[in-house]
Every structure is written in structure tokens, then in C-alpha cells.
Amino acid sequence: MSACVDAPYTLRSVRVQADRGSARWFGTRIFLTCWLIYALHLTTNTVREIYPALSLGDHFSLRVDEYAGLHPDIFEKPGYGWHINSNPGASLIGAVPYAIARPLVDRIVAR
């Protein structure tokens, strides 16, 4: 038998199903799926990579002087300030959304 005969849906039934599912419902399902994934992966632990990201968003610098002593991987180099003892790649990526959202974050913190 051919694949067309065995197919459970005809072209007409596919069109009817496509009409029932609107773009708005599809967008809502995508939003809820993403929200659920992010909510399940939310962590309350702060890792060392967050400090340079915050410093970049706040001061445009990788110096983490204001976070000294909060993590064992933050060290001081005399004359140069405090820095993390790792590659700042994740911090550089994380600083971009924080810098974009910073005006909103500042308004929320000011309340």
C-alpha cells in the first residue's frame, strides 16, 4: 500500500485542525513552556560569575571590589583591585541582558 492510503489524516482534516489552532494560542503555549523551563531551573545560589556580570552592568568594569569576601574565588591583586579567579566568559554573556534591563531593575530597587 502507498503512504497516502495509510495516512491517518486527509488534507481536508489537516486544514480544519490548522484553523482551530490560532497563532495566539501557539504563542501562549510557547510562553508557558519557556516559563516552566526557566522556573524549574531557577537557583537561589549565587555563583562567582554573577559578580563580574553585575559589575559590568553597573560600572562597566570587571573589578568586583564591592563583592570582596562573598566567594572564595574572589581575590585581591594589590594595586589592581578584586577579581574572580576564573575565565569571565559567562559573565560577559550574562552582562548583556542585565545591562539592557538595568533601567527597569533600578526602578524596582528604588521602590
Could you report the per-residue pLDDT of 27-64, keeping only the tens digit for each? 889 999 998 888 777 666 677 888 999 999 888 999 99
Percent of the chain whose predicted confidence (pLDDT) is above 70: 77
Could you report the per-residue pLDDT of 87-101, keeping only the tens digit for each? 888 888 888 888 898
Among 62, 94, 55, 67, residue whose Cα is nearest residue 80 = 62
pLDDT at 76 over 60: yes
This prediction's pTM: 0.55
Rg (CA), the chain: 24
Query: The cell 488534507 sits on which residue?
Result: 11
Average pLDDT over residues 82-88: 88
